[in-house]
């Protein structure tokens, strides 16, 4: 794309109304990797929603063992395990939310 093309495009965009710009943006697919970003954010949210917090475990060593194991096998596989989430000699202790 040359500078004349960029200038022509800029002039065209300047002449559009707000409604026309909105329609243009809605019709243009977002190719910046937003789908990848959304999936990554969903995985991160799932991890933080399901991973134990340090205060929910008996000791920090138990917490570290659980989070290391989760990172090793993945959150989905960890959640698919038993209800207790027993992992490598460490038991996850769930505290009721108030």
Over the stretch 8-52, which tens digit does the pLDDT of each residue have?
Answer: 888 988 998 989 888 888 877 766 677 788 888 898 898 888 888
Residue 67: per-residue pLDDT: 87
Distances (CA, A) of 64 to 37, 45, 50, 74, 80: 27, 19, 15, 15, 20
Percentage of the chain lying above the pLDDT 90 cut: 3
| Beta carbons within 8 Å of 3's beta carbon, 6+ residues apart | none
Q: State the total domains in the chain.
A: 1
On whether residue 75 sits in a domain, the answer given is yes
Q: Which of 2-11, 39-48, 60-69, 85-94 shows the lowest mean pLDDT across its residues?
A: 85-94
The answer to whether residue 67 is domain-embedded is: yes
- When pLDDT is cut at 50, 70 and 90, the band that residue 66 belongs to is confident
16 in any annotated domain = no
77 occurs within a structural domain? yes
d(CA 48, CA 63): 13
**Which residue range is the domain that position 70 belongs to?**
51-98
Residue 11 lies in a domain: no
């Amino acid at each position: 794309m040359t500078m004349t093309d960029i200038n022509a495009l800029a002039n065209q965009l300047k002449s559009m109304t707000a409604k026309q710009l909105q329609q243009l943006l809605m019709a243009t697919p977002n190719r910046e990797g937003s789908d990848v970003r959304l999936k990554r954010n969903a995985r991160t949210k799932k991890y933080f929603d399901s991973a134990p917090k340090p205060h929910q475990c008996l000791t920090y060593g138990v917490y570290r063992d659980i989070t290391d194991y989760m990172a090793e096998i993945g959150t989905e596989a960890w959640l698919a395990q038993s209800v207790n989430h027993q992992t490598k000699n460490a038991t996850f202790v769930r505290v009721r939310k108030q």
